[in-house]
Chain A
Amino acid sequence: DTAVSQTPKYLVTQMGNDKSIKCEQNLGHDTMYWYKQDSKKFLKIMFSYNNKELIINETVPNRFSPKSPDKAHLNLHINSLELGDSAVYFCASSQTHTNEKLFFGSGTQLSVL
Chain B
Amino acid sequence: DQQVKQNSPSLSVQEGRISILNCDYTNSMFDYFLWYKKYPAEGPTFLISISSIKDKNEDGRFTVFLNKSAKHLSLHIVPSQPGDSAVYFCASYVSGAGSYQLTFGKGTKLSVIP
Contact = CB atoms under 8 A, between A and B. Distances in A.
A105 B105 CA distance: 19
A48 interface: yes
B29 interface: no
Contacts of A101: 34, 46, 49
Interface stretch (B13-21, B54-62, B94-102): B94-102
Contact of B93 (A48, A100, A103): A100
B43 interface: yes
**Interface of B: prevailing SS:** loop
A87 interface: no
B102 A100 contact: yes
B34 A106 contact: no
Contacts of A103: 43, 45-46
B88 interface: no
A90 B43 contact: yes
A41 B106 contact: yes
B104 A106 contact: no
